[in-house]
Amino acid sequence: MAATLYRKITKAMRNLPNLLQGYNIYVNRDKLHLINLTFKTISPEAESFADLGGVWKVNAAYTFHTLKNFTIKRGVLVDTDYPIRFYKKLKNYQNLQIIRGDFMEKSVVKAIGKVDVLYFFDVLLHQANPNWNEVLEVYSHVAQCFVIYNQQFIQGDETIRLTDLPLERYIELTSDYRKEFYKYVYEHRLDIHPEYHKPWIDIHNISQWGITDKNLRNVMTDLGYKEIYFYNHGRFLNLPAFENHAFVFKRDD
């Protein structure tokens, strides 16, 4: 309990400047730096981007930051849920396209079309049916630059499907914060989720994968991308099996 409280206080203090910029304390300043690095140094020619799954908990902060700080002709924000209280704020940006849906739906991918930069912030480890590597393959036809911030698995050389593990081991690796929800998912693993139309065991609301750096790099290399930037931002929460790793991959066509 003391460790959890300390972590929350430390996070709040570190992210206090967010409040001065109109963001909440959950906005990760390392991701803001990653966006700045991408548009200022790595892809200064970029004029469009898509933020995939960019609403949850941070209220589209990374989309807003990009639109406010760079010359963007077209931004795209995709998520399944939009809190009503800030939906009108999103509509004020004429160069922003708002899409409600799963970013792996064919109709959503088609609606996004071509963009210069894609944000994959904390989303790859949640993608199953289709899986995270299939997501990257689909979006390799969409953008030249991938900006990835993901909770990477560091307790092995190979990627693992977390939901294939026994429930006890799953909780051990991912925390017991939502233990009852995880238990429900496991008990109804083959039932079809009423909103996402896939088995409960495949939903994106839980951690699905322990992705290793090696496997991620191999996938991106096979897709024709070069790693331009990497940084290890340290342990994710208090989970010894995961670290926050930042990547930028770019394809030179």
What is the DSSP pairing of strand 239-250 with strand 160-161?
unpaired
Give this prediction's pTM: 0.91
In this structure, are 25 and 150 located in the same domain? yes
Do 57 and 110 have their domain in common?
yes
For residue 73, give every residue at least 6 positions away whose Cβ sits within 8 Å of its Cβ, in sequence order, or none: 47, 48, 95
- Do 103 and 23 belong to one domain? yes
Helices (H) and strands (E) in the chain, counts: 10, 9
Q: Which domain holds residue 24?
A: 2-154+211-250
CATH of the domain at 17: 3.40.50.150
28 to each of 65, 111, 149, how far by Cα in Å? 12, 28, 10
Residues 14 and 139 in one domain: yes
Closest CA to 145 of 177, 182, 117, 110: 117
The answer on 198 and 86 residing in a single domain is no
Strand partners, 232: 245
CA–CA gap between residue 96 and residue 224 (Å, rounded) = 29
Q: Give pLDDT tens digits for 91-145.
A: 888 999 999 999 999 999 999 999 999 999 999 999 999 999 999 999 999 999 9
Checking if the pLDDT of 80 tops 90, the result is no
Q: What is the domain count for the chain?
A: 2
Q: Give the distance between the most distant pair of CA atoms in the chain.
A: 51
Say yes or no: 85 and 184 in one domain.
no
* 58 and 149 assigned to the same domain: yes
| Tens-place pLDDT, residues 211-242 | 999 999 999 999 999 999 999 999 998 899 99
Residues 206, 175, single domain; the answer is yes
Is the Cβ–Cβ distance between 248 and 148 less than 8 Å? yes
Both 58 and 138 in a single domain? yes
Same domain, 69 and 173: no
Are 206 and 216 found together in one domain?
no
Q: With a cut of 80, say whether residue 23 has pLDDT above it.
A: no
